[in-house]
Amino acid sequence: MQVVVVGSGYSGTLVANRVARKVKDAEVTVINPRPDFVERVRLHQQIAGTYSAATPLAEVLREGITARVGTVDKIGEGTVALADGERIDFDYAFLAVGSTVSPIPGTVPVGTWEGAQQARAALAALTAGDHVTVIGGGPTGIETAAEIAEARPDLRVRLIGSSVGGGLSSGAHRRVRAGLERLTVEIIDDEVAEVGSGATDIVRLRSGREMASDLTLWAIVSGVPDLAARSGLEVDVRGRAVVDEFLRSVSDQRIFAVGDCAAVPGARFACYTAYRRPFTPPTTSLACSRAASPNRIPSRTSAAASRWAGRTR
């Protein structure tokens, strides 16, 4: 049985390892744009230089799984077509391309590996007193602002969102904001209208306020890659593949969609959507815990990442 997994983030890695373990005659191929498994919920630490969020796929995939570095152009009719022209046939495929970001001009996205690397280099070049502006009041924005403020207390960090921490419970909301204030993060409950780039960015808010920024980071997840739609699979209004109760595409039952790119009723963007069903979202993220607690959360080692990914389960 030929099984292809497109994407090796949290969901794709879990799926590949579980299929390889449970289906003895399966030949599993994982196609990923880079040779590493990236812990997306640790990208804020990658930016701050406090943790390496990338682990070689060989360390998290079970023995016997083939890892192929490449970009998928289209999937369907039993074939995965790569951007370089290669075609890989499958009996079953798993679409696990995750979610993506659409940063406004003048900002650096923190939700992708490439953006995190760019942000890390830019952050390292800043000097004492420079301003870092993080746009996005959800978990990603909170964790990014908190991590940078803790790692670089010499910088001035501000966090902008229509309601910073507003999606949390009232108690968690208070603790997170208190933690951010303890880290001297300036909290601004407003929306960003635009960012004018130059020698120094000018961040303009809906309220009319303007402020200078030496590094402006975009910390909002806003959609999914268009691979499913581009391949002709039925998608919802957000571009996620429409699936049945078994996560099979309603357009092609040889294709399963897992993780953020699947339109699972009641689910939201999170790294747990391929882990168990029914989906139960975590109450807070590592990031929010960091902001709400003065104690540092231990970094996950590569061995622990392998266990989490299901390689040794």
Per-residue model confidence as pLDDT tens for the chain (313 residues): 999 999 999 999 999 999 999 998 999 999 999 999 999 999 999 999 999 999 999 999 999 999 999 999 999 999 999 999 999 999 999 999 999 889 999 999 999 999 999 999 999 999 999 999 999 999 999 999 999 999 999 999 999 999 999 888 999 999 999 999 999 999 999 999 999 977 789 999 999 999 999 999 999 988 899 999 999 999 999 999 999 999 999 999 999 999 999 998 766 655 444 443 333 333 334 444 445 443 433 344 444 444 545 564 4
d(CA 48, CA 121): 9
* C-alpha torsion sign, points 286, 287, 289, 293: positive
pLDDT of residue 265: 75
Q: Are 179 and 147 in contact (CB under 8 A)?
A: no
Pairing state of beta strands 79-82 and 87-89? antiparallel
Question: Is the pTM above the cut of 0.85?
Answer: no
Phi, psi of 283 (to 5 degrees): -75, -40
Strand partners, 161: 189
pLDDT of residue 292: 45
**Placement of tokens 């109450």 in the chain:** 283
pLDDT of residue 308: 47
Q: How many CB atoms lie within 10 A of CB 131?
A: 19
pLDDT of residue 309: 56
pLDDT of residue 287: 41
pLDDT of residue 159: 98
Q: Are 98 and 27 in contact (CB under 8 A)?
A: no
3-state secondary structure the chain: CEEEEECCCHHHHHHHHHHHHHCCCCEEEEEECCCEEECHHHHHHHHHCCCCCEEEHHHHCCCCCEEEECCEEEEECCEEEECCCCEEECCEEEECCCCECCCCCCCEECCCHHHHHHHHHHHHCCCCCCEEEEECCCHHHHHHHHHHHHHCCCCEEEEEECCCCCCCCHHHHHHHHHHHHHCCCEEEECCEEEEECCCCEEEEECCCCEEEECEEEECCCCECCCHHHHCCCCECCCCCEEECCCCEECCCCCEEECHHHEECCCCCCCCCCCCCCCCCCCCCCHHHHHHHCCCCCCCCCHHHHHHHCCCCC
d(CA 253, CA 262): 14
Phi, psi of 141 (to 5 degrees): -65, -40
pLDDT of residue 198: 77
Residues in the chain, total: 313
